[in-house]
Amino acid sequence: AVNKSGKHTWDPAQDAPARIKRVSIEGNIAVGKSTFGRLLQSACPDWEVMTEPVSMWQNIGTGSSKDPHGPPQTVSNLLQMMYQDPQRWSYTFQTYACMSRVKTQLQPPPAHLLASEGSPVQVYERSVYSDRYIFALNMFELGCIGPTEWAIYQDWHSLLVEEFGHRLELEGIIYLRAPPETCLQRLRQRGRAEEEGVKLDYLETLHLQHERWLLEKSTEVHFDKLRQVPVLQLDASVEFQRDPLVQQRLISEVKNFFS
Binding residues for ligand TTP, rule: CB under 6 A, are 27, 29-34, 52, 54, 79, 82, 94, 97, 126, 131, 135, 195
Q: How far is CA 17 from the centre of its chain?
A: 22
Of 65, 92, 64, residue with least CA distance to 79: 92
Alpha-carbon distance 30 to 96, whole Å? 20
Q: Closer to ligand TTP by CB, 64 or 84: give it.
A: 84
**At its nearest, how many Å lie between ligand TTP and the CB of residue 182?**
11
Distance CA 67, CA 59 (A): 20
Q: CA separation (Å) from 131 to 185, 227, 257? A: 23, 15, 25
Q: Which is nearer to ligand TTP, 10 or 135 (by Cβ)?
A: 135
User: Which one of 48, 52, 125, 149 is the catalytic residue?
Assistant: 125
Q: Which is nearer to ligand TTP, 20 or 183 (CB)?
A: 183
Cα angle 45, 175, 193 (rounded to 5 degrees) comes to 90
Residue 82 C-beta: closest distance to ligand TTP, Å: 6
**9/150 with CB nearer ligand TTP:** 150
Q: Is the distance from CB of 120 to CB of 17 less than 8 angstroms?
A: no
Tell me the Cα Rg of the chain.
19
Instruction: Assign 44 to helix, strand or coil.
Output: coil
Q: Is 195 an active-site residue?
A: no
- Which positions are catalytic? 125
